[in-house]
């Protein structure tokens, strides 16, 4: 009988995870199924769906919005990445144990370094936003050897607080926080990452053009939207290269798959299938 996996969220019909994991399973010869679960909007929906899936023999879940915080709360064991992010995007079940991981930031780093060919060691990075996506990226970026990490948010106090909270966990990486309005022409970066949700509403964070001037890459975590306002702003500022988050999506899925199945799939074919031209 095939092992059971799924993705849970609300809404969930748009999810690419069944396609991605189905292709991974086919490529690696894994005997498994992968479904979608709508946890619903009502209180307790996630907990009921989680219990039902485990009772039916489910082996692991991907978790998407709005249940990532609840997934971490349900875990009996959590990785450093999940704890610092305050959220989990993958669960693994072993008897009574529920293990939680957050692979989003790991997928981001893998995409930037492996697929886009930009080594992160020693780089100066501007990370826009101070929410869950930013929290999930901090530890993987520090592990990759980033020298300086600046968090810029519309509300400066939120970025400053997150930088202060994260600093003890980031080793030799210098982390600073402040407001978008605090960025000046003297602040130059080699990588600018948009971890806000602005691109979903067709907007762009108020980033000065000078922030992009020395950048080798501007990266929008949103995917499938083509050339977002953030990426257009980067191009207008003559940033050397732009990319969206489709590679992050695929690479975090590959990390979860390897965690569950013990084999890491090659991601090239899946990336080629999901990539939307940035025009």
Q: How confident is the model at residue 197 (pLDDT cuts 50, 70, 90)?
A: confident
Q: How confident is the model at residue 198 (pLDDT cuts 50, 70, 90)?
A: confident
User: Residue 187 has what pLDDT?
Assistant: 86
Strands (E) across the chain are located at 3-9, 32-38, 58-63, 77-78, 90-94, 97-101, 124-128, 148-153, 174-179, 191-194, 217-220, 242-243
Active site residue: 16, 68, 123, 232, which one? 68
Sign of torsion, CA 242 245 247 252? positive
Coil/strand/helix, residue 67: coil
Residues of the chain with CATH 3.40.50.10860: 3-102
The residues, any chain, with a CB within 8 Å of residue 241's CB and separated by 6 or more, are 116, 216, 217, 218
Residues of the chain with CATH 3.40.50.720: 105-246
Sign of torsion, CA 80 84 89 91? positive
Convert the pLDDT of each residue in 218-248 to its tens digit. 999 999 899 999 999 999 999 999 999 999 9
Convert the pLDDT of each residue in 101-147 to its tens digit. 999 999 999 999 999 999 999 999 999 999 999 999 999 999 999 99
pLDDT more than 90, % of the chain: 91
Q: Residue 209 is encoded by which pair of tokens? A: 């053009």
Mean pLDDT across the chain: 96
User: Does the 3-102 domain belong in CATH 3.40.50.10860?
Assistant: yes
Q: Cα separation of 77 and 93, whole Å?
A: 10
Active site residue 158: no
As a whole number, mean pLDDT of residues 17-44 equals 97
Model confidence at 276: pLDDT above 90: no
Architecture of the domain whose range is 105-246: 3-Layer(aba) Sandwich (3.40)
């Amino acid at each position: 009988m095939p092992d059971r996996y799924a993705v849970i969220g609300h809404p969930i019909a748009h999810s690419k995870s069944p396609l991605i994991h189905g292709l991974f399973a086919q490529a690696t010869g894994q005997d498994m199924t992968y479904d979608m679960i709508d946890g619903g909007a009502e209180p307790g929906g996630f907990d009921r769906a989680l219990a039902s899936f485990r009772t039916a023999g489910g082996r692991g879940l991907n978790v998407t919005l709005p249940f990532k915080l609840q997934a971490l709360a349900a875990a009996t064991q959590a990785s450093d990445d999940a704890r610092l992010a305050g959220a989990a995007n993958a669960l693994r079940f072993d008897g009574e144990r529920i293990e939680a991981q957050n692979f989003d930031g790991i997928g981001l780093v893998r995409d930037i370094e492996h697929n886009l060919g930009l080594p992160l060691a020693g780089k100066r990075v501007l990370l826009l936003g101070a929410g869950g996506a930013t929290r999930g990226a901090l530890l993987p970026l520090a592990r990759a050897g980033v020298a300086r990490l600046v968090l810029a948010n519309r509300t400066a106090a939120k970025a400053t607080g997150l930088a202060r909270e994260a600093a003890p966990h980031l080793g030799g990486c210098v982390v600073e926080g402040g407001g978008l309005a605090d960025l000046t022409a003297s602040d130059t970066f080699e990588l600018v990452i948009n971890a806000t949700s602005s691109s979903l509403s067709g907007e762009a964070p108020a980033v000065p053009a000078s922030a992009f001037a020395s950048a080798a890459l501007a990266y929008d975590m949103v995917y499938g939207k083509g050339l977002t306002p953030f990426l257009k702003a980067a191009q207008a500022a003559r940033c050397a290269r732009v990319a969206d988050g489709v590679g992050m999506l695929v690479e975090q899925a590959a990390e979860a798959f390897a965690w569950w199945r013990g084999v890491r799939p090659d991601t090239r074919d899946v990336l080629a299938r999901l990539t939307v031209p940035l025009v």
